[in-house]
A and B are shown apart, each in its own frame.
Chain A
Amino acid sequence: MSDSQPIRSSRFRAEREADWRALEALVERVESGGAGRLDFEESRALAALYRKATTSLSVARDISLDKSLLIYLESLVARAFLAVYAPQESLSGVMGRFFGGSASAAVRRSGWAILMAFAALFLGGWVAALLFAQDPAWFYTFVPTGLAGERGPGASTETLRAGLFDTEGNLLAQLGAFAAFLFSHNTRVALFSFALGVFACVPSLLLTLYNGLILGAFWALYADRGLGMELFGWLSIHGVTELSALALAAAGGFRLGLAVLFPGGLSRKDSLRASSKDAVKLALVAALMLFVAGLLEGFARQLITDTTLRIVMGWGIGLLWLGWFMLAGRRAR
């Protein structure tokens, strides 16, 4: 027995070892420098050798008792798998797809959730305005003191007007306003209403309603003093973008929550995963819109003080967003 030719698993190894070594060399080059390092022939060889190695592994698992060989093959195939199935993305490709259609398609697919978010926002605003008409003291209930500042039912009409048309401050102060804004109330509300949507939509709905309440209270106060139109202009220039961003973030949360509530034919986990594809895109769009809103609030609102111009600019930008959502990527489908 001992004098005869090598045992079966040794022959198996001897026949294939050259292929494994070749694969290992290719994988090492991919690991150190990415798949771009390989030319066409080498890439083809990588795929072919990888498939051969998977077959070797599956055979070796059955016939070989050589532990070191099994360990080697397991890890070689694992490394080759990582090299072969690496994401083949370029930055321009990812960006192009996001802006050129996938984001807008996600927004279009989430129409009902977005409608739901806007409805919650308006409902909140309407309720707050009604309550304010009964008793202005409701203002203090809805608006946190930090946000209200010196604006409130106790303030004079002149103070309120000055707040809307404040042009003081240099570039740096505007940058400061921008910085403060990004981490202020709205970003936090957007992030929470998105992330907490998983819990069956309830937290997102409450947050959006609450934001509507604050808005409604402000509007009722200013309308009470005859400054309704001016407030509309002041809000429009950044608010169209900003409130839409809030609604989109909340809609992302709603998509997650609805997937948990009504999974349909899927399991809840799968349904959550499926809807997360759109929800993540909604969150990215909302983040982008919040960033733009921050720029508008920090700079444009201070530079443009004419109410009509503010309204035109705010809603014009809103139309641009709408155009992107409705049109981008339609032809491709």
Chain B
Amino acid sequence: MARLQTPAEMARKLENARRWFELVPPEGVPIRFEVAGIAARFGAQLLDILITVVVMVSVILLLAVLPFTIEPLVTSLAAILMLVIRAPYYILTELFWNGQTVGKRATGLRVLGADGRGLTTHAVVARNLMKEVEIFMPGTMLIVSGSLGTVWNLILLVWIAIVLIIPLTNSKRQRLGDLIANTYVTCRPKAVLLPDLSTSTPRIEFDFTPAQLEHYGSFELQTLESLLRSRSETRRSDLRRRDSLVQVAAQIRYKIGFEEPVPDGRAHEFLHAFYTAQRAFLEQKRMFGDVRDDKHHRDGD
């Protein structure tokens, strides 16, 4: 029999679409990090390349101002300067800024050691040496690809395809250098502590019986939490928000059989009280091992 998807399952699926990985630090509590997106990593790389190219060009311009004739050597000089500038740039920034280059800072990315014990010098050097083979060698060859033969162009094509496919084949989006150095790239976590909803209203004038709290699970509770936390900027969205609060309050009253009338103006207050009571009830049950994921009593697989 085909089973309908409950909203909680859909929410869980949505949550899984954002990729996470867990590190176990020596403290033994697994810490969750979000896997960095391909687009952000691409942007960071582009910015880093831009920075190194700008430095390289300014060095060449400086040499041009000095009394040297460098025209015949410009290409080879540029190639050397690129190598001398970029390899230390990536290694030193990632080592001293805890896994961040300038580009990674700008896009909010960070390199992590996969063993949960911090980045090692070896890991930083290895992943950035592989970058030479993965990105810069094919990149420079791509620039001169017009003058290469068909065979080399084919090799180049396969090479670039492999380099691009490898991050897509593993769940943590590790490129070859990450695999060898055993590192992950993560989004920088942001933390904002919001006030606790269950204590933020001083007086609560609604009472619920345990039977009335039997209906919902933690998914519904947390959905209600996000509704109560939502803020409205404009008058129109504020009206809409009030409207949905009234509707949700009516729906909940109907479902749990709450007899006492609730005027529209107090819908928010009612929901607040219900949230607090429901959370206390569910947390109590959880304490005794009765984990209820949603109102269908379906738990995660």
Contact = CB atoms under 8 A, between A and B. Distances in A.
**What band does the interface of chain B fall in when counting residues whose beta carbon is under 8 Å from A?**
35 or more
A202 interface: no
Given A54-B29, A82-B98, A276-B180, A67 B225 contact: yes
A10 B196 contact: yes
Interface in B191-208: 191-194, 196-199, 204-208
A183 B196 contact: no
B32 interface: yes
Interface in B175-225: 179-182, 188-194, 196-199, 204-208, 218, 221-222, 225
24 contacts: A1-B280, A2-B277, A34-B96, A51-B27, A54-B27, A71-B191, A75-B189, A77-B31, A78-B33, A81-B23, A81-B31, A82-B110, A85-B113, A86-B119, A87-B124, A89-B95, A94-B95, A172-B68, A172-B73, A175-B73, A176-B72, A179-B76, A182-B83, A276-B181
Interface stretch (B45-53, B125-133, B232-240, B247-255): B125-133
A276 B121 contact: no
Interface in A1-37: 1-3, 6-10, 13-14, 17, 20-21, 24, 34
Interface of B: 23, 25, 27-29, 31-33, 68-69, 72-73, 76-77, 79-80, 83, 92, 95-99, 110, 112-113, 116-122, 124-126, 129, 132-133, 137, 179-182, 188-194, 196-199, 204-208, 218, 221-222, 225-226, 229, 273, 276-277, 279-280, 282-284, 286-287
Contacts of B218: 65
Contacts of B182: 273
Interface string A208-238: 0000000000000000000000000000000
A271 to B, nearest CB: 12
A30 B137 CA distance: 36
Nearest to B26: A85
Given A2-B206, A280-B125, A78 B31 contact: yes
Nearest to A51: B27
A6 to B, nearest CB: 5
Contacts of A180: 76
Contacts, number: 170
Nearest to B208: A1
Given A82-B110, A89-B96, A284-B125, A75 B286 contact: no
Contacts of A284: 125, 129
**What band does the interface of chain A fall in when counting residues whose beta carbon is under 8 Å from B?**
35 or more
A77 B279 CA distance: 24
A64 B193 contact: no
A51 B25 CA distance: 11
